[in-house]
Amino acid sequence: MSSSSISSLAAIGEFGLISRITGRVVTNESVIAGIGDDAAVTALSPGMQLLTSTDMLLEDVHFRRSWHDPYRLGRKSLAVSISDIAAMGGIPRWSLLSIAIPADLPLVFIDDFMCGYLSMAAENNVILIGGDTCSSRAGLVLSVTIMGEQLPEQVVCRSGAQPGDDIWVTGTLGDAALGLKLSEDGEPVSEELIARLLDPAPRVSAARALTEAGVVTAMIDVSDGILADFGHIAEHSGVGGCIQIGALPLSRYFCSYSADFSDIPYHLALSGGEDYELCFTADRSNRENISDCMKKCGIAMTRIGIVSSSVGVSAVYPDGSIYKAQRDGFTHFK
């Protein structure tokens, strides 16, 4: 950390930083007034409802500066929020970003962070319309609010799963958790797994294809592990379900690393967080429609189980034996 970089942020000050960020923001016709007034003013599309979600990210709790390069940290900070809008079947539109900045953070870190944040925004047609900047006495703190919209009939909640529905998941599971485990163990780890951990892709196109087809009964994004997250669907829907471990979609990177283990580390695919895939349920009559959605968006979708009327979520090995959870999804305060 050079003293010149410290003095740079001090030299431009709070309003200088805001101007610096504002200068890079691209806007569109939905934004009546963006950054710079007491509140942003935006116009929803006619007939649409507002979708809102917020996430707070703290240094040394959610991320480490030594691991997360600022560009990918910026991308991920927004990606996890966009993922929440995708999980509701929504169209992401606007974001607010608050940053509490420690005195030792160089200005170039903020520049690279914003570059990443705005690249993720641009890829998803999200406009940064406001936020807050302040000094932090203890680590970088980020708070991202995302707003999206959707027609009432296309909003998908966690509560609609029906007994007999198929349980589906997009993409592959366990990559982020394996990337984290290998990094923590000091093992060599491929760029592909690290990218899943540090630069997850929100499944907006998959969600929109599914909701436009009207085939989804319930949906959630997989941030705490598929067992915990399908558990949320089950709880909100008053149902249960059984996940077939043999059906879990695993990437070739995951499988190649697995060869080094005594057996495939299914617990990473079942309980590892931060994959940001979508888990959804759909009537079995929609299997062909979902196959069409898959072709439309180019994201794999895999059937991994069946919703049951009896409460409780289980995972079953191909030989019929029951998986015993090694750990639950991550929770705070424990």
**Length of the chain counted residue by residue:** 334
Query: Which amino acid is it at 253?
Result: Y
Residue from the set 121, 128, 129, 307 that interacts with a copy of itself by CB under 8 A: 129
Task: Please give the residues from 150 up to 209 whose contact with a copy of itself meets the rule CB under 8 A.
Answer: 152, 155, 157-159
Provide the minimum distance between the beta carbon of 161 and a copy of itself in the complex, in angstroms, as a whole number.
Answer: 13
Residue 135 sits in the site that holds a copy of itself (CB under 8 A): yes
Q: Give the residues across from 37 on adjacent strands.
A: 35
CA R_g for the chain = 21
| 94 contacts a copy of itself (rule: CB under 8 A) | yes
Give the total of residues touching a copy of itself (CB under 8 A).
72
Segment contacting a copy of itself by CB under 8 A, of 143-151, 173-181, 252-260, 261-269 = 143-151
Query: What does DSSP assign to residue 201?
Result: P
Which lies closer to a copy of itself via its Cβ, residue 116 or residue 148? 148
Amino acid, res. 122: A
Please identify which residue in the block is written with the tokens 């750990």.
327
- Out of 114, 204, 210, 220, name the contact with a copy of itself by CB under 8 A: 220
- Structure letter (DSSP) for residue 149: E
Q: Which of residues 65-84 bind a copy of itself (CB under 8 A)?
A: 83-84
22 makes contact with a copy of itself (CB under 8 A):
no
Which two structure tokens, joined as six digits, stand for 97? Answer: 């970003």
The CB density around residue 155, as the number of other CB atoms within 10 Å, is 17
314 near a copy of itself, rule: CB under 8 A = no
Read off the amino acid at residue 87: A
* Residues 308, 241: Cα–Cα separation, whole Å: 5
User: Residue 68: what are its φ and ψ, rounded to 5°?
Assistant: -90, 110
Selected binder of a copy of itself within 70, 116, 148, 200 (CB under 8 A): 148
Return the residue matching tokens 């999804």: 329
> Nearer Cβ to a copy of itself, position 52 or 190?
52
115 by Cβ neighbours in 10 Å (0-12 / 13-18 / 19+) ranks as middle
Does 247 sit near a copy of itself (CB under 8 A)? no
Side chain identity, residue 54: T
> Quick one: 193 or 219, whose CB is closer to a copy of itself?
219
Which of 19, 26, 64, 132 binds a copy of itself (CB under 8 A)? It is 132
Q: Which is nearer to a copy of itself, 10 or 322 (CB)?
A: 10
25 touching a copy of itself, by CB under 8 A: no
